[in-house]
Structure 1
Amino acid sequence: MDRNVILFIVLTAAVLIGWDAFVIGPQREAIRAARAAEAAAAPKVESPEGGIAGVSLSPVTLTVEEALTKAPGRVKIDTPSLVGSINLAGGRIDDLSLKNYRETIDPNSAMIRLLSPDDTEHGHYVEQGFVAVQDGASGGVRTERVTWSAPAGATLSPGSPVVMTARAGDLTFTKTYSVDADFMFTVKQAVRNDGATEARIAPYGLVVQRGIPDGAGKQPILHEGPVAVVGDKLYE
């Protein structure tokens, strides 16, 4: 090999190693230290009655079919691409399957399930809601613990949104679900306070999954660790 080529390789390696050691390395450590300091300085916020809003710690004991029938009521979801339902307990989407995709090449095999109720082996659900505390009231309200109501026989489908409501004390919560012909859901939320005292309200959104789904090891890339958006910052 030509001596100039060898010299070029050696110098390039030295530059890269030096750049990482003296420039990138210190910057990386500074970012880690800043994040650690920010996390340590952040106030510890607990939702009313303890725990994390929207996340149930109940034991997993039910099959999907049992969990679906256990709900106090459900709003059907029916689109050209999706089928499932919204659980009126908490107003969460915890039942969703892909109409046009099957578990095997057999066209009669089960549809690919995206979401399933919390109290099943691989519970996986999506939820949006509020944590609210009214001045002078004991405890607080978490909408994931509230039973929502919807028009009788309502079905969420393209062009047919569904409005769900829930009431807790002087507060009335509203969710309007809509969906397109493919896979996009839109959820609009509102709160009305009919009382004379102020209420402190914070919205939240969750995607919760229990354990590792069957067949996950077949994928070459898997995300590891938590993901959260707090304010306008992404933490992962």
Structure 2
Amino acid sequence: MNISLELVPRDEASIKAGLSAVFRFSDISYINIPDLLRFPIRSWEACAYIPQQYRSIPHLRAIDFSMDEPFPLSSYFKEHHIDTVLVVAGDPPQDMKHRVYPTHTTDFIKKLKKELPHLTVYAAFDPYRSNIRYELDYLKAKEDSGADGFMSQPFFDVRLLEIYAEYLEGRRVFWGVSPVLSENSRNYWEARNRAIFPRSFRPDLHWNISFGRQVLQFCKTHRFDLYLMPIKVDLETYLEGLFS
């Protein structure tokens, strides 16, 4: 199995600080980099700071790219050995000086696979978007467009994960896990993303490490991959708890 860790590209120093905490955990072989417009570094630019021992996965917002023009990052990807990406729809920018396009995720995936056929393209997977049938159909549409696999939003209840996993058996899936360490954070996930938490949930490190280890074992058993999104947590302590 593969394990990917998300690092938020606030600046060069924060990326390197995150990497320094990850080096001793040999289980991690991928680094995911979200594309957040509030920070000056774009996801693909942050890849320049990732050592080649990791496979860096920049997130690409479909609405940032025109379907009528060649993909503008082809040469950059080749120069920086970027061979894997995660395609997300992208939220409209708050700063309207940032130009966006009416580019749909499935169309953008087709474009990438046509112009860069050797690029591995993962598609975003949101278990809370609508309902299970809708999301599975949407994943099938992304797969038909050329997606090589999927990376999910964080799960907090293994029972929901197991339902999706039954239908996605045999696919390349990174199942998302993110520690939630406060009631405010839980409220955010429930209100903004409509996430589902089990009654047993506790907003502390012990519960989150225990849950992460449960998902880690599930991925090993069923030959899936794991996507860690450790936000607002001491990274070394969290990873030590998962892998010790």
In the superposition, the TM-score normalised over structure 1's length comes to 0.25
More helix as a share of residues: 2
Pair member with larger Rg: 1
In the superposition, the TM-score normalised over structure 2's length comes to 0.24
Instruction: Work out which structure has the larger RCO, using CA pairs closer than 8 Å and 6 or more positions apart in sequence.
Output: 2
